[in-house]
Amino acid sequence: MIFPSFLSKQYEYFHYIELCEITKHDVLAVKSRAVGFSEIAASLGVGTYTTRRNAHCVYTAFAQGQLDDVLSKAWF
């Protein structure tokens, strides 16, 4: 494993997540499939669950097959 190399849109997404945390807003991401954001979604949920007591993380998708990639990365 190596340190990740981020693209500018990924940086903007992380910045958006942080801004929502600071302002106490919820986050919703609507995106196309297969653009590499399942790793980001998995890491955000795992990080929250690991560092915050009594945290609940919910992953949803339109169909079960679309959720498997994110959940497998989160469990890994």
Name the residue among 18, 11, 13 with its Cα closest to residue 30.
13
Alpha-helix runs per DSSP H in the chain: 8-22, 38-51, 64-75
User: What is the reported pTM?
Assistant: 0.54
Q: pLDDT value at position 1?
A: 67
Q: Is the pLDDT of residue 6 over 70?
A: no
Q: Which residue has the higher pLDDT, 18 or 50?
A: 18
Q: Summarize pLDDT for 20-59 with one digit per residue, the tens.
A: 889 999 887 777 766 667 777 777 778 777 788 888 888 8
